[in-house]
Amino acid sequence: DARVTQTPRHKVTEMGQEVTMRCQPILGHNTVFWYRQTMMQGLELLAYFRNRAPLDDSGMPKDRFSAEMPDATLATLKIQPSEPRDSAVYFCASGLYPDSNTIYFGEGSWLTVV
C-alpha cells in the first residue's frame, strides 16, 4: 500500500529550538510538496520540488525555514529557530508529474511550539 510517510507525527518543542520534519514520498514519485495548515490561514503551499530540484519556495519564510531533498526518498523541512506562530500541521504530499495529476498527502506532522 503506497503512501507518503511523515515523521514525527506529533512534536511539542520550546520556542527557539530547531525542528526537523521528514517525508518519504511514494516510491517513484518525482514531485514533493510541503503544505502548512492552520485555522487562520488554511492550507498554504510552502515549497515544492521536482526531481529533487526546488521549483518554488516563495511561500516559505526564508529567515527560519529551509526545505531540502537529500535524495529521491527523503524530503526535509527545517525550522530554526522555531516560534509559537509556527504551530500548525505540516503536510507533505507527492505526485508523479506529468503522468498523473493526483497528489497524495501524508498524515501530517502536528507541531506545537510553546
Partner 1 sequence: ELKVEQNPLFLSMQEGKNYTIYCNYSTTSDRLYWYRQDPGKSLESLFVLLSNGAVKQEGRLMASLDTKARLSTLHITAAVHDLSATYFCAADLYNNNDMRFGAGTRLTVKP
Could you list the residues that contact partner 1 (CB under 8 A)?
31, 33, 35, 42-43, 45, 48, 55-56, 91, 93, 95, 97, 101-108
Query: Minimal distance in Å, beta carbon 43 to partner 1?
Result: 4
Query: Minimal distance in Å, beta carbon 57 to partner 1?
Result: 11
d(CA 3, CA 6): 10
DSSP string, 55-89: EE-TTS-TTTEEEEEEETTEEEEEESS--GGG-EE
| Complex with partner 1: residue 74 or 103, whichever CB lies closer | 103
Query: Minimal distance in Å, beta carbon 47 to partner 1?
Result: 10
The C-alpha angle 45, 61, 56, rounded to 5 degrees, equals 45
| Complex with partner 1: residue 56 or 83, whichever CB lies closer | 56
